Each structure stands twice: as C-alpha cells, then as structure tokens.
Amino acid sequence: MYPIVPLFAKFCHLQCHTLQTFNYSEQLQRLFGYSTFRANQEEIVQAILAGRDVFAVMPTGGGKSLCYQLPASLMKGTCLVVSPLISLMKDQVDAANAFGMKAGLLNSTLSSSEQHEVLARLQDGVYDLLYLSPERLALPGFLERMRRAPLSFVAVDEAHCISEWGHDFRPDYLALSSLRQALPGVVLTAFTATATKRVEEDIVRRLALNKPLMTRASFDRPNLFYQVQLREQVNSQIEAVVAAHPDEAGIVYRLSRADVEKTATWLRDRGVKALPYHAGLDSQTRSRNQEAFNRDEVQVVVATVAFGMGIDKSNVRFVIHGDLPKNMESYYQETGRAGRDGEPALCLLLYGRGDYFRLRKFIDQLAGEEERQAGLAQLARMMDFAEQPVCRRRAVLHYFEEEYVPENCGACDICKHGVESIDATTEAQMVMSAIYRTDQRFGAGHIVDIVYGAKTARIIALAHDQLKTYGVGRDRGKRFWRQLVEAMLGEGLLKSEGEPFPLLHITAMGEEVLFGREKYITRRMLEAKAGAADTNAAEISYDGSLFAILRQLRREMADREGVPPYVLFSDKSLHQMCIYFPQTPEALLVINGVGQMKLERYGKPFLEAIALYLSDNPEISPQQMVQGRELPKAPRQVRKSVGTETLAETLRLAKAGLNVEAIAAQRELKSSTIAAHLGELLQQGHSLDIDQFVDREVRNAMTELFRSHGLFRLRPIVEAMEGRAGYDEAHIVRGFLVFQGWKLEAEEGPVSSGLSTN
C-alpha cells in the first residue's frame, strides 16, 4: 500500500483528522490513473478524510465508487461497503484489487471457513475495502463484532433502497437504520444514482447522518444519446440497433419474462450472441449469463429489470427499452448502464400506448391507496416523456429538479432532427369520423386500418370497407396514422378505455375538433432517415484495427486472471491507446485510467502489441506523447474511424461495386484508409465480396501465409509476398479471415505468449 502517515488510531472512535496528512491527488493518479477529479468527487473525498458524514447523489457513471475507494486507500482501517447484489460484489472487488487496493467480500457464497478467514483478516486490518450485503448487518452479533474491528468508515451504496419512496425499496436495507447507534464513532456515507428530494430527506433521516456534506451532482450524462420510437415491429427494431453496433455490448430491457425469451431467441436466430436474464431462470443460469456478458463472451443480454443493479460493465454501448419503464427513476437507472466509461452510447425507448395498461395492472395491485396514486403519477410522467416532443435530456433533468439551460442538447432525437407544428385538423377529423362511424367500439389498430384502407379479414367481415372513411388516408403511411392517434391520445382528443383490449373514445375536446369548432395544431418530430437509429453526434476517431487487437489481448489476459476485461482497461483507455500509440511506460501512464499499478501489472503486453502494430503499419507516424496528464488533440494521421458515419459511407460505396481506388478517389481519402475501413467492416461481420478488392490468387497466397504466421502481424505477410501485394490487401484479407471465424491472435507474440504481468 502507498506509504502514508496514519490518520486513524486502531478504533474509529479515536480518530483525529488532518487533511494535510493525505496526498490524495498523487494517490488519484498512482492508483486510478486519473489526473483530475470529476465534478463533486474532490469535495466528497475531502469530507470523508476530515471525518464528516456524506450524502451524495451522483449519476451512474459519475464516479461515485472512487469517492469511497480513494479515501479507503489512504485511511488506516477498513471501509465497509454495503452493496445490494452479491452478483456484483466480486467484480467490484476484482476492480479494486486491479487498482492495487486490498479488497474482500463477505457474503453467502463463501463457505463457513472462508467467512471466518475474512473476518480474521478484517480484525487484523488487512483490507482497505470489505464489501457485504445489507442482510449481513442484520445477523445476530454481527454489528457488535464490527464495533471491535478497525473500521475507517462505512459506505452505503445504492442508498435509495432504504427509502420506501425510492423506486427500488428493499426491506433488507432497513437494517442499516441501526448503523449509527451500533457504530457511534464511525463516519457514515451514502451514495445513490437516483433520488428525488423526498427520497434524499428520507435516506438522511433513516441513516441518522450527522450534519452531512450534501452533494447533488448533475444528472446530465452528455455522452448518452436519448431516442424514443413508436413500437411497431419490436424485435426487428431491436435487431436494427444491434446490427448498427457490431461487436459492441448492449442491454435490452423487456417487461415480461416471455418477451425476454422471445427477443433473445430472435436475436440468436439472426446470428447475434444474446442471452436472457430474468427471475424465472435459476440462480446458476442467471449468474452464468451475467458472467458471459461481463466477460465479452456474448454481445447482448436481454433482461427484465431483475438485471437492474447487477451490472458494473463499463463498455455498454447501447441500452434498449422494448417496453415503457414504470417510472423515470427506473428509466434513468437502467439507461445509466450505458456509457459508464464516458464514451458515446445510445439509449433507445420503444413504446406503445398499450404499455400504460400493462403497467397499470401492476400498480393497481399495490396495497396502499397513496402508493397506487404515486405509482399512477409516476407512470403518467413516463408517458409524457415518451409522447411529448421536447428535448429528452431536458425532460429527464427536469424530473430530477435540475434545469437544463441550452436550447439544443445535440444528443437526443428531438434536438437532432427538430420539431414542427402542423395543422392536423383534417387528419384528426378523419380518425374521429372512423371512430364515430364504428360506434366507438374498436381499438387504435383497427381504426388505423380503416383510415389507411387496409384489406384485413376483420375489416371485410365487418363490412368496414364500405364506410365513407375507409381508405381516406391511403396517401399517408400507416405509421403516420399510428403516430397521429398516439398524439391525439396524449393531447386529450381521444381516450382509451376498457380491459383487456382498450377501445378508442372521442372526448369533449375531440368533439370540438370533429365538428369544426376548433383546429387541431400538433407538434411532431421531423422524420429521421428510414430504418436508422440515431447515434450520439460525438464521433470518436481511433485506429479500429489496433483496437480489435488490443481488445482481444485484453480479453485473453482477463480470462487468465479470472476477471471481466474492463477490469484491466476500459474501452476509453483502449481508444486513447489507438489514438496516441504510446510506446513507452511513461507515455502509457498518460492514458486515462492507467495508473502505476496497472502499468506494472498489464502494461508490457499492450506496449508490445502497439509496437508490433506500428512496425506492421509504417505509414503511421505517432504524435509525440506529452508528459504530465493532459492529452493532446487526436492526431490527424489516424487512418480510420470507428464512428459509424464514415464506415457506413465506405460500406455504401463498396456495396455499390466500387473498388478500393475508386472509393478512395470519391471520398478523397488515401487507399490505405479505405483498405483499413474494409478490413474493419469485414471483421464486424458485414458481408462483402472480397474478390471485388483483392485478386483471388493474392488472397489464397496471403491466407496460407496467415495460416503460418497468425493474424496478429501484417509485416511478415507483406514481406513474404515479395511485392505482389501490400498492406492494403493484407488489411482486407485479415478482416475477411476474421469474418470467416479465424481468431485475431498469433502463435507467438504478446497476444498468446507475452502475457506476463510481472
């Protein structure tokens, strides 16, 4: 452990606090590899080191774990971390140990002898951090034993679980109310990602926090792109997003277990590595599926909200809600699983008006009237978020009583595409005429079919094709009419009533429009490109081929250590390596998230891989890394971008039949850049005709050379070709071979044999 002057006596109630004792800024870089704190982190760390209670609301991905890990690494004694999910503890412990801390866990997965060993190590002051579940605190005699242990402070994670007003109240958390009385001299800290002011006050009261530092960080997650779509063909819509994120991790939330299984099966049938996660699966299967997702063995997990807090994976690039969440807290918490590493990520919500009735059934089963009314109010707010054409980011932040000042967030579908006001009086009258002429006895789908002029068996059987309004809206797509009905429901012209199949009824407000006494002006989002999901406007340019190599190296090293890949380095760290190509230990330390301990344990193989890649790609001239912790701007010579827009353009031209030279000329890029794009597109699984780009004889010769040398290095392949082909062809053939199932590794070299962590 980093040498420090002890601040604490053996027992916490004898503490004497002096901030100057701790060089926490140096420890921040040495252990965690960060040069600066994120917003609010430093004041929280200072408060804990000064012996002050803390209550902090920080968004998922905002770095709340560092707020207790950093002081725990400096203070004498052990920080008890109360964490709600056993399935998450091991990953948290692995991550802390990877930083160079001494962390352990205490839960029911340990044998009796293992538990006794952990408690003995706790008593001896071995741990910086000890993770345990709230149920553990309720065991007879446990808190009394903690009174005799050398504790530094207690950190209650997911603290909203203690409040009955929180979105995920857990009765077992009520045992935490006895912490203050049981451990009177111990600093108590509480952290949560979501809490309204009412929940905040309840947490402080239940934990009896003593004049705590109250920190409420911004709920804004600038790297997340928020998008809402009307749910039509839900599995096809989900598949389209997954296809737009090849080989990138994502979570799909569905409301029911049956829908989870259907969506997971749909994706697997289309070649996506996807697994289900819900309470109907046995605990071993759930644990195995989560572990596979954490270790990048599968791309997508399809889950109910049972998956909520069970994930600490930093490189989730998209979160899709296939159904409407029950409230904004749940939505924020679940979308918060995306982009925890700070890189761009997509949050897509698919909804339909029927979601309201499905969720209301659960709310109606609640015991107390006040609880039911609160649930209905929260559901109504969620519906407003889905239906009202206002900035998604502003709506999210407004719910948490935070004002978003900019007019355009630039990272939601509303702000990206814009909103228009239209006079839809005539169209609304068409819809209501169809409802009126069918005696208000049918649901939205049937009414849309009448107006659109669909020839369904039901319409023919009921003779609704003879109605005056049949087919009056044929010049518009069905999607237009579905969206219009949803808007009319949301704005009060229509209401939907009845169980189990809601029927459309015209309201008094609707009658004013139907009979021409009022106009209907509605606002709607301008149309995006058909079939395309939006992405964050921020595109990250980095060398995609090197990223694939480093990601494979990271996974193999993580498998050897028995930890998830992101524990070694986050995607953000790998991205920066693929921008700046660090070639020395000092340069690698400049990369975000690379501290001294990680450099010593994992740095050598990554430096070797980067050096080999540069040797194989002599056209790259890396920018000189600066010393200190400020990264320079991305160098202009980075040859390829994993941003979807530039790859998509190369893919479009390739599918149009152009060869490498023609694509390069049209895009005004080097042929080496286009070849790298094509290699990356092939690695991602796009089906391209390789004969369009590489002569068959050259491809066959290179394939045999790759068979002998492995895919990791290109230089031996190019040299062995003796001028018959160069690096452009090598990039494309390697991508094709990965597409065919070859592994991106070599018989020799850092990927397979240079895994020393010494």
Region 267-289: mean pLDDT is 90
Asked, for residue 244, whether it belongs to a domain, the answer is: yes
Please report, rounded to a whole number, the percentage of residues in the chain having pLDDT higher than 90.
Answer: 40
What CATH number is attached to the domain comprising 16? Answer: 3.40.50.300
Asked, for residue 303, whether it belongs to a domain, the answer is: yes
Asked whether 106 and 131 are in contact (CB, 8 A), the reply is yes
Asked whether 208 and 166 are in contact (CB, 8 A), the reply is no
Region 68-84: mean pLDDT is 92
Q: Are residues 414 and 427 in the same domain?
A: no
Q: Are residues 487 and 603 in the same domain?
A: no
Q: Pick the range with the lowest mean pLDDT from 71-85, 165-179, 267-281, 358-372.
A: 165-179
Query: Residue 334, by phi and psi: left (phi above 0), alpha (psi -120 to 50) or beta?
Result: alpha
Does residue 629 have a pLDDT over 70?
Answer: no
Does residue 537 have a pLDDT over 50?
Answer: no
Asked, for residue 455, whether it belongs to a domain, the answer is: yes
Q: Which residue has the tokens 């709506």?
A: 395
Number of domains into which the chain is organized? 4
Average pLDDT, the chain: 84
What's the whole-model pTM score?
Answer: 0.71
Does residue 637 have a pLDDT over 80?
Answer: no
Asked, for residue 163, whether it belongs to a domain, the answer is: yes
Under the banding of pLDDT at 50, 70 and 90, the label for residue 642 is very low
Q: Which phi and psi angles does 685 have, rounded to 5°?
A: 105, 5
Q: Are residues 363 and 491 in the same domain?
A: no
Query: For position 236, what pLDDT does the model report?
Result: 93
Q: What is the pLDDT of residues 460-481, one digit of tens each?
A: 999 999 999 999 999 888 888 9
Region 70-84: mean pLDDT is 92
Asked, for residue 6, whether it belongs to a domain, the answer is: no
Closest CA to 55 of 133, 176, 157, 135: 157
Q: Are residues 596 and 698 in the same domain?
A: yes
Give CA separation, 693 vs 310, 408, 661, 729, in Å. Answer: 45, 43, 9, 8
Q: Are residues 411 and 450 in the same domain?
A: no
Asked, for residue 534, whether it belongs to a domain, the answer is: no
Under the banding of pLDDT at 50, 70 and 90, the label for residue 490 is confident
Question: Which is more confident, 165 or 336?
Answer: 336
Question: Which is more confident, 29 or 73?
Answer: 73
Which of 368, 399, 418 is a domain's end point? 418
Q: Which phi and psi angles does 63 have, rounded to 5°?
A: 90, 35
Q: What is the pLDDT of residues 293-330, one digit of tens each?
A: 988 889 999 999 766 555 678 889 999 999 999 999 88
Closest CA to 182 of 218, 219, 149: 149
Q: Are residues 20 and 133 in the same domain?
A: yes
Region 201-228: mean pLDDT is 92
Region 678-701: mean pLDDT is 86
Does residue 753 have a pLDDT over 50?
Answer: no
Residue 694 DSSP class: S
Asked, for residue 522, whether it belongs to a domain, the answer is: no
Strands 224-230 vs 187-192: parallel, antiparallel or unpaired: unpaired
Does residue 745 have a pLDDT over 70?
Answer: no
Region 538-555: mean pLDDT is 79
Closest CA to 735 of 657, 650, 670, 666: 650
Q: What is the pLDDT of residues 139-181, one digit of tens each?
A: 888 888 899 999 999 999 888 888 877 666 777 788 888 889 8
C-alpha 584/C-alpha 235 separation (Å) is 47
Q: Are residues 172 and 265 in the same domain?
A: no
Region 198-221: mean pLDDT is 90
Q: Are residues 435 and 401 in the same domain?
A: no
Query: For position 369, what pLDDT does the model report?
Result: 84
Q: Are residues 479 and 550 in the same domain?
A: no
Under the banding of pLDDT at 50, 70 and 90, the label for residue 715 is confident
> How many CA atoms, within 13 angstroms, populate the side-chain half-sphere of residue 50?
13
Q: Pick the range with the lowest mean pLDDT from 122-126, 291-295, 629-633, 707-711.
A: 629-633
How many residues are there in the chain?
A: 758
C-alpha 21/C-alpha 50 separation (Å) is 10
Please report, rounded to a whole number, the percentage of residues in the chain having pLDDT higher than 70.
Answer: 88
Strands 494-497 vs 503-506: parallel, antiparallel or unpaired: antiparallel
Asked whether 560 and 605 are in contact (CB, 8 A), the reply is no
Query: For position 303, what pLDDT does the model report?
Result: 93
Does residue 678 have a pLDDT over 50?
Answer: yes
Maximum Cα–Cα distance across the chain: 89
Q: Are residues 616 and 744 in the same domain?
A: yes
Q: Are residues 546 and 510 in the same domain?
A: no
Q: Are residues 206 and 279 in the same domain?
A: no
Which of 358, 385, 418 is a domain's end point? 418
Query: For position 638, what pLDDT does the model report?
Result: 39
Domain containing residue 174: 12-216
Q: What is the pLDDT of residues 360-415, one digit of tens each?
A: 888 888 878 888 888 888 888 898 898 888 899 999 998 888 888 888 998 999 99
What CATH number is attached to the domain comprising 499? Answer: 1.10.10.10
Query: For position 758, what pLDDT does the model report?
Result: 30
Region 734-754: mean pLDDT is 59
Region 566-581: mean pLDDT is 91
Region 16-20: mean pLDDT is 42
Asked, for residue 375, whether it belongs to a domain, the answer is: yes
